[in-house]
Amino acid sequence: MTAGFGRALRAHRRAARLTQAELGARVGYHHSLISKVEGGVRLPPPGLARAADVALGAGGGLLALVDDRPRGTLLSLLPGADPGVAVLPVRWPARLTARCPEHGTTGCAVPSAARARVLLARLGHEAGSDLVHVLTALLGECAAADDLATVEWALHRMAPAGSPVLLVLAAHFARVAGGLRAARGQDALGMAWLGQGLVWAAAADCPVTTADLLADAAVLTGVPA
């Protein structure tokens, strides 16, 4: 699917006589991301697929090439969110597919969406395994859905000080936020999140997460890692 979408995107862009930079400006994504998607080395974010389909007049042809499994904005899961925000239902996992930062394994049970909503309402004041599992699941879904708004919602409310596990999670959220900001051409904001992630990773004494953040920063700045 990745290569097929990339080839179709390139064909539509060239037919519209647009450069990658010009298309990026129209759809709100950096030209480097457009290049990676066209080259088949990066999955197209859902937002890019939708915007490019409209901008290039593809009539749904580009959207038909991407994963169209039901996704909704995860903001519908968050406390105080307007239930009408999500057009499609949120896919909330029953178990973690990513490695749990607390237990070091995959497959940990994730609290229900209703319970997650309660825990997220107390984000910054709540701790414990259930919250760790909710945040880990939330981050995975946000990354898959290109959902920057929810990632930053969590980052602005997390209070990880004093908990190494939450510090690592906060660093992971910051890494995703940095990548999503950079993909939108907002390199300064991307670097700011990566920098904050490095602070949290260092406080948690987590060299693996620190190395991941440094590698992302090197890519963003063009400096060899």
Rounded to whole angstroms, the Cα distance separating 107 from 122 reads: 24
The model carries a pTM of: 0.69
The domain at 2-65 falls in which architecture? Orthogonal Bundle (1.10)
Of 31-45, 86-100, 109-123, least confident by mean pLDDT is: 86-100
For residues 99-121, b (16+ Cβ closer than 10 Å) or e, as one string? ebbbeeeeebebbebeebbebbe
Average pLDDT over residues 212-222: 86
Q: Give Cα separations from 2 to 42, 50, 89, 91 (angstroms).
A: 7, 15, 24, 22
User: What confidence tens digit (pLDDT) does each residue in 162-171 have?
Assistant: 789 999 999 9
Single out the residue of 61, 60, 58, 34 nearest to residue 48, CA to CA.
34
Instruction: Return the pLDDT at 2.
Output: 54
**Model confidence over 2-26: pLDDT tens digits?**
568 889 999 999 999 999 999 999 9
Q: CATH 1.10.260.40 region(s) of the chain?
A: 2-65
Q: Which residue has the tokens 């949120």?
A: 90
